[in-house]
A and B are shown apart, each in its own frame.
Chain A
Amino acid sequence: MKNKYSVFSLIKNALSQHENWQQAWGNPEPKKEYEAIIVGGGGHGLATAYYLAKKHNLKNIAVLEKGWIGGGNTGRNTTIIRSNYLWDASAGLYDHALKLWENLSQELNYNVMFSQRGVMNLAHNLQDVRDLKRRTHANRLNGIDAVWLNTEEVKKFCPIINTSPDIRYPVLGGTLQRRAGTARHDAVAWGYARGASEMGVDIIQNCEVKGIKRNGDRVEGLETTKGFIKTNKIGVVAAGHSSVIANMAGLKLPLESKPLQALVSEPVKPIIDTVVMSNAVHAYVSQSDKGELVIGAGTDSYVSYTQRGSHNIVEETLRAILELYPIFSRMKMLRQWGGIVDICPDASPIISKTNIKGLYFNCGWGTGGFKATPGSGDLFAHTIANDEPHKLNAAFNLNRFVSGDLVDEHGAAAVAH
């Protein structure tokens, strides 16, 4: 790497008042033709380009981003990373990603601030208890660390939780994955962008795709706001806008795009050193390194591309947070925002070829794509380079909606929807 970051580069640049740091990634104009084009410069798209260049030796790759890199859902999520999914296919996919996370800062020479602070999922009724215990067993059979905690152990692990039996949704226990945690979301996009740019990937920002040129059953290129770009391989990683791109190619996807929102509080001293999620009351919370509480809310029930989210959803979430953590009752919320998430009927992603040759889709991550960023990029790169899925993403094909072989993670995987 040309400009390797290290303690020595930090000292050297400190001596020159930090005025000589190199630009971390380039800002090129698009070429006429590429071997492969990735549509969408979020974490997943940049990771895809990175692994295409690194593991599959493609030399001529572009990433097109209609806004700025990491400005979509990569910069809007609540940064939770975990792999405690119920079904074997999901466990394989998300744990592959978690293993890559564990070495990502070293791999990218960029501090993604991955922090394995643990993720705890709470149970509030007997069915939750049964479901979460079942998932704990399934996780362990798949080699994923998971433990069941009773109410006292939950209280011990996170003392600020209200475990009184008198509350509307009492805490009857929970599961804990200690290897799970959080990472700095922007750094993931920036780290992959820098790594990909270093290997010659063109990252083209402010370039929106307007159309897909087809010749019969294969793709020939993309119409963009910066002109026509020729290519035989298009990997679409457009999150909430996946259906918009699919419609350009005359495809329909099994997706609905909905606003999902999150909010952060004013910064306070360290008070919660883990991530706590609760499906039944629909609230999850962690604390950022700056000290803000990061709170995730639910999705709106209707299709919308407005990146806002409804007030009543925030109200429901905060009601649940206040009952579980009475200590937060005087906290002020500083910011609230929404991102558009593309939700599949089975709450599992699509990393797949399509019936149009050279057109690949990586979408449907719904409310929980951030955690999979490295794994998703790695497997999607494999799928594009070999025109065949990797065994870890074979189950996540588009054809499962025809065959009926769904990977039904709705509710089963402690997924907060």
Chain B
Amino acid sequence: MFLINCPFCGERDQSEFSSGGEAHIVRPKQPTELSDDEWAEYLFMRKNIKGIQFERWNHVHGCRKWFNVVRDTSNDKILSVYKMGEKPPVNYK
């Protein structure tokens, strides 16, 4: 449990938000061309990182907007928050 600094509403309790999982998984441009392996990769396979992870959150009990978060999953510290469509911060790997 932690606080998330929503880029639209400010700092709120994590229980107001819904986690959308790993960020920057690009939707296939031509789904009909995809092989079964590529579909599996897109739909199911996840990095599930212990450490610094880029992820999507939705302020579901607030402004209902999606945004991105950089969080260390080993201690739940949030390192950065940025809006959808913005480039991810480069100082985290």
Chain B residues near A252: list those with CB within 8 A: 41, 45-47
- Say whether B36 contacts A402, CB under 8 Å: yes
CB-contacts of B46-77 with A (<8 A): 46-50, 53, 55, 73-76
- Say whether A303 contacts B21, CB under 8 Å: yes
A404 → B minimal CB distance (Å): 8
Q: Cα distance A253–B47 when bound, in Å?
A: 7
The yes or no answer to B5 lying at the interface (CB within 8 A) is: no
Other A-B contacts than A243-B49, A305-B50, A306-B74, 15 sampled, CB-CB below 8 A, are A243-B50, A247-B47, A247-B49, A253-B45, A254-B40, A254-B44, A256-B48, A303-B19, A303-B21, A303-B53, A306-B76, A308-B1, A310-B1, A345-B43, A402-B40
Q: Cα distance A311–B46 when bound, in Å?
A: 27
Q: Cα distance A203–B73 when bound, in Å?
A: 29
Chain B residues near A304: list those with CB within 8 A: 73, 76
Chain A residues near B48: list those with CB within 8 A: 243, 253, 255-257, 303, 342
- Say whether B40 contacts A305, CB under 8 Å: no
- List residues of B whose CB falls within 8 A of some A CB: 1, 14-15, 18-19, 21-22, 36-37, 39-41, 43-50, 53, 55, 73-76
- Say whether B40 contacts A401, CB under 8 Å: yes
- Say whether B1 contacts A312, CB under 8 Å: yes
The yes or no answer to A412 lying at the interface (CB within 8 A) is: no
- List residues of A whose CB falls within 8 A of some B CB: 241, 243-244, 247, 252-257, 301-306, 308, 310-312, 342, 345, 401-404
- Say whether A241 contacts B50, CB under 8 Å: yes
Residue of B nearest to A306 (CB): B76
Known pairs A254-B46, A310-B1, A311-B1; A303 contacts B73 (CB<8 A): yes
Chain A residues near B40: list those with CB within 8 A: 254, 401-402
A60 → B minimal CB distance (Å): 31
Chain A residues near B22: list those with CB within 8 A: 303
- Say whether B73 contacts A312, CB under 8 Å: no
- Say whether A301 contacts B19, CB under 8 Å: yes
- Say whether B55 contacts A302, CB under 8 Å: yes
Q: What are 13 A-B residue pairs whose CB atoms fall within 8 Å in the complex? A: A243-B49, A243-B50, A252-B41, A255-B48, A256-B21, A257-B50, A302-B19, A303-B48, A306-B76, A308-B1, A345-B44, A401-B43, A402-B37
Chain A residues near B74: list those with CB within 8 A: 305-306
Q: Cα distance A257–B48 when bound, in Å?
A: 7
Q: Cα distance A116–B89 when bound, in Å?
A: 54
A253 → B minimal CB distance (Å): 7
Q: Cα distance A306–B2 when bound, in Å?
A: 12
- Say whether B73 contacts A305, CB under 8 Å: yes
Q: Cα distance A310–B47 when bound, in Å?
A: 23
Chain A residues near B39: list those with CB within 8 A: 402
Residue of B nearest to A251 (CB): B45
- Say whether B50 contacts A244, CB under 8 Å: yes
Chain B residues near A302: list those with CB within 8 A: 14, 19, 55
Among A244, A401, A404, the most chain B Cβ lie within 10 Å of the Cβ of: A401
